[in-house]
Each structure stands twice: as C-alpha cells, then as structure tokens.
Amino acid sequence: MLFSGDAQRGSWISWSDLSWDVDGKKMTSRDLLGRTVFYKVGHHGSHNATLNGVADGDTANLSWLGLGSYAEEFVAVIPAHENWALAKQGWHHPLKSIEEELVKKARGRVFRSDTDKVKRPPDIGQAEWAKFKRVESHLYFEYTVSDA
C-alpha cells in the first residue's frame, strides 16, 4: 500500500535511486512500487503529486506501480471534492489527465471521495468487474485488500 501524502514531483524523483537490503537481497524503489496494490493518490490528484511516465523510465512514476501479478489488484483512491476545489481555489482536483491515467492503470478501480459509486468502464467485462469487491454508500466506501 502506498500512502504518499502530499509528496510532489521532487519526492517521486528522490525515490528513484533508493534501495534497501531485505534478507540479503537488494530491493529497489522500482521493486517496492511495483508491488503496490493500493494507492492513496497524493494531493487530491493534483498536477504534480502523481508523476506520469513509462515503466522503463528512470524516474519513479505511476507506471512503476502495480506491476506483474500485482497489476490485477491495483486500486487507487483519490481524496477529492471537485466542486469545493473549483469554487474555493479555481482548481480542478483531481486533474482530469491524472484521473484518466489512474483509471487506465487500475482498470477502472478508482474510488473518489466525492462520488458514491465506481462505474465499470465499458472495456472491463462483468466477470472481471465482479472480482473487484467493494461496498459503496452515500456515506462511505469499503474495499478489502487481501494478503492471500
């Protein structure tokens, strides 16, 4: 699970070259980010809180998240209140291009705190969508991340 808070462009760049020794094996940022199955989107989905990029790029970015077998489970949550942000700040949160990339990456499994339902994208079959277990109401949404 990745909870990046308000990490912005500089933070993502700084993660790129980090590594750790885990049980005698070198673990890189790319390795860890690739195992992410739940991403709490940074800074309400703003323009520089989730870097876009390519999986083989040199800088940590959205493409590094949820790779391989973890891609099937990748889910994102965007803490946003679009109407408030637009009225108070004149900002579009989440930024449309970030949300669109997240929806592609997560195969539609993107929660927004200012909406009650997650809509199934037309290119996702009903059987696959049924695997995406969630509870939704006008007060909350609930999603279970399994370690199995």
pLDDT in tens, 70-90: 998 999 998 877 777 777 777
Q: Does the residue 84 lie in any domain?
A: yes
Q: Which residues are bridge partners to 99 per DSSP?
A: none
Q: Does the residue 121 lie in any domain?
A: yes
The whole-chain average pLDDT of the chain stands at 86
Work out the percent of the chain whose per-residue pLDDT is above 90.
36
Q: Does the residue 117 lie in any domain?
A: yes
pTM comes to 0.83
Tokens 């291009």 map to which residue? 97
CB of 79 within 8 A of CB of 110?
A: no
Quote the domain boundaries for residue 46: 2-143
Give me the mean pLDDT over the 50-79 stretch: 90
Would you state the pLDDT for residue 130? 83
Domain count, the chain: 1
Give the whole-angstrom CA distance, residue 67 versus residue 19. Answer: 18
- Residue 96 — very low, low, confident or very high, per pLDDT cuts 50/70/90? confident
Q: Does the residue 116 lie in any domain?
A: yes
Q: Does the residue 148 lie in any domain?
A: no
Would you state the pLDDT for residue 148? 56
Would you state the pLDDT for residue 44? 73
Report which of residues 26 and 143 the model is more confident about.
26
CB of 55 within 8 A of CB of 63?
A: yes
Whole-angstrom distance between the N-terminal and C-terminal Cα of the chain?
15
Give the whole-angstrom CA distance, residue 5 versus residue 93. Answer: 15
Residue 92 reports pLDDT greater than 80: no
Q: Does the residue 80 lie in any domain?
A: yes
Q: Does the residue 112 lie in any domain?
A: yes
- Residue 115 — very low, low, confident or very high, per pLDDT cuts 50/70/90? confident
Would you state the pLDDT for residue 34? 95
Residues with Cβ within 8 Å of 7's Cβ and at least 6 positions away in sequence, in order, are 42, 43, 49
114 SS3 class: coil
Q: Does the residue 114 lie in any domain?
A: yes
Would you state the pLDDT for residue 131? 82
